[in-house]
Structure 1
Amino acid sequence: MLIPVVLSGGAGTRLWPVSREAFPKPFMKLGGASSLLQRTLERALPLADGGRAAIVTNREYFFKTREEIDGCAGARNVRVTQLLEPVGRNTAPAVALAALWASAIDPDAVLLVLPADHLIPDADAFREVARRAAGLAATGSIVLFGIRPSAPETGFGYIEMGDVLGAEARAVRRFVEKPDAALAVQFLAGGGFVWNSGMFCFRAQTILDAMQAHAA
């Protein structure tokens, strides 16, 4: 079972006043009639082969998120559960919450974890790549989605790619979180780095085991 999980807890205050704590970025409509959250759901819900999906969000946004789900045509055939955080603690706790929830539904569930605020014009290409990622994740891999850098941006984390793993993927050699400008230029020139998109795919139990192994 592939379960899309949308992370929709951030306030997005960098876009203030358009996005703010009372009206966070996932609810924004940028150049269209649908919000960023709704666009993410429309991209992801066709992948929910077991008819289940989840949104991890702050409890303060429960009712607004419900409105967003109800306004999403793709949600009519998928049961979208809200997993509510009392306080946002970034990605890892949100992923742990989703993994615990999913493992209770299906111990072999594969999670496709997506930020709510991405703009991806080609939804078909996204779903094709996501399905390939799910196949790798089902074997026990933790799969990340890299973006080929177009400029030496310092606002992204970078992933250095390692060995080729068949035709589907590359191993991860290391992460570099938001390098300075000089280092970003080196990464771009070297060609062995991609931006970390913040999208992930893994079995629920795989990520729970990894978190347990690396817990302080």
Structure 2
Amino acid sequence: MRIYPVILSGGSGTRLWPLSQPHKPKQFVSVVTDRSMIQETILRVADQPEFLAPIIVSGESQGHLVAEQLAAIGIEPAAILLEPAARNTAAAVAIAAYWIAANDADALMMVMPSDHVIADLDSLYVAIRAAAQAAQAGCLVTFGIQPTHAETGYGYIERGAALADVANVHRVANFHEKPPLPLATSYFEGGQHYWNGGMFLFSAGNYLAALADHAPAVAAASADAMGKAMIDGAIVRPEADAFMAGPDISIDHAVMERATNAAVVPVDMGWSDVGSWDALWTICDRDAQGNGVNGDGFVIDGAGNLIYVSDGPPVAALGVSDCVIVSTAEGILVAPRDRSQDVKKIVDHLKRRGAAA
């Protein structure tokens, strides 16, 4: 069994502004540990016997950051695939699948976002090995994250019948979009639904076959782009015009929701996508008053706050509760913690202001 980690690293992480910036998005920043999030993702599977050297899929503008991050932890990649522009995850996974099909056709591929946190690695490894058995049997496997609460910010995977020949893997009954709170509550209480964390395991051939069936325009554009790619050692640049001719669509909409061989392996592994400052507060160490402090900051007479200082001036919070205060060299954020998802509005405002200047 041989598995290529395929790490998707094209996101912008706008909800973690000002720590995450366009020139250095959150996956390249030390958010939770002393290492960046992409380094933690790469190292998560680097010492596991099934895993081969990683394939990183990123944007052309982030290629130097990917190379720096790999060099800093002493990892040689199998390939760094640099998209000329973002075309969503169906195409990102496709170009990695075409690389694997051309170079090591019998290997599996495990698709992982570059900016997630996983606390329980042993549970992850158990789930990977179950998923790999199902993938070898021809399934397109996704990982269903055991929900800890009724969450409206994630899509859900509904569990179907158990596979007869692989333990702890089920058919996918349905994929569901981000639900309103009452529906999310019923999903959480019903026990048949899992969060969709955007992690997948399958063979390159099976993914490309499904892509050709269900999203042939993505398959054709990706194949053309890789056939005309510029290759410089580990760096692979798909041909721009061919790549951009394909539609912008996610792997879920293009393939997984339509495939008859989609399967899900449930896993409870302390997962977080760290998609907002509130999500970071949820997983960080907190004091008896529920305050989480990173860096040079403190709270007096307050509760439920997240104070995050990284290369910015120190923060003293007095008499405030349930707030996020972030201090960096790039900017300062002060917001109610329950407005964390709206930080993207700040980024949009800054873009408009910059365009008008």
- Interval of TM-score (by shorter of Structure 1 and Structure 2): over 0.9
RMSD of the alignment, in Å? 1.6
Unaligned stretches of 5+ in structure 2? 217-357
Aligned-residue sequence identity (percent) comes to: 41
Partner of 2:41: 40
- Give, as a single letter, the amino acid of the residue that structure 1 aligns with 2:163: L
Could you tell me which amino acid in structure 2 is paired with residue 35 of structure 1?
S
AA aligned opposite 2:180: D
SS where residue 52 of structure 1 aligns? coil
What is the alpha-carbon distance in structure 2 between the residues aligned to residue 50 and residue 13 of structure 1?
31
Find the counterpart in structure 1 of residue 81 from structure 2.
Answer: 83
Matching residue's letter, 2:123: A
Q: Check if 1:57 corresponds to 2:58.
A: yes
Post-superposition Cα deviations, 1:1-34, rounded to whole Å, max 9, x if no partner, equal 2111000001111211211221111112123210
Q: Which moved more, 1:46-55 or 1:27-36?
A: 46-55
The answer to whether the 8 A contact 1:51-1:79 is kept is: no
Q: How far apart, in 1, do the equivalents of 2:19 and 2:131 lie?
A: 34
* C-alpha spacing 1:214/1:72, structure 2 compared with 1 (3 Å): same
Corresponding residue number in structure 1 for 2:194? 194
Q: Which moved more, 1:129-138 or 1:155-164?
A: 129-138
| Aligned-residue offset at 1:118 | 0.9
CA distance in 2, matches of 1:80, 1:44: 14
- Does the aligned pair in 1 maintain the 2:8–2:57 contact within 8 Å? yes
Contact 1:2 1:48 in 2 (8 A): no
TM-score (norm 2): 0.57
Worse-matched range after superposition: 204-213 or 23-32:
23-32
Correspondence for 1:95: 93
CA distance in 2, matches of 1:20, 1:10: 11
Moved over 6 A (4+): none
Structure 1's unaligned 5+ residue stretches are none
Deviations 1:150-190 (A, max 9, x none): 11111100011000124221110000010111111111121
1:2-151, aligned counterparts within 5 Å?
A: 2-47=3-48, 49=50, 51-73=52-74, 75=75, 79-151=77-149
SS at match of 1:134: helix
Are the equivalent residues in 2 in contact too, given 1:4–1:47 (CA < 8 A)? no
1:48–1:116: structure 2 CA closer, same or farther, 3 Å change rule? farther
The structural deviation recorded for 1:127 is 2.2
Which is higher, the Rg of structure 1 or of structure 2?
2
How many residues align? The count is 213
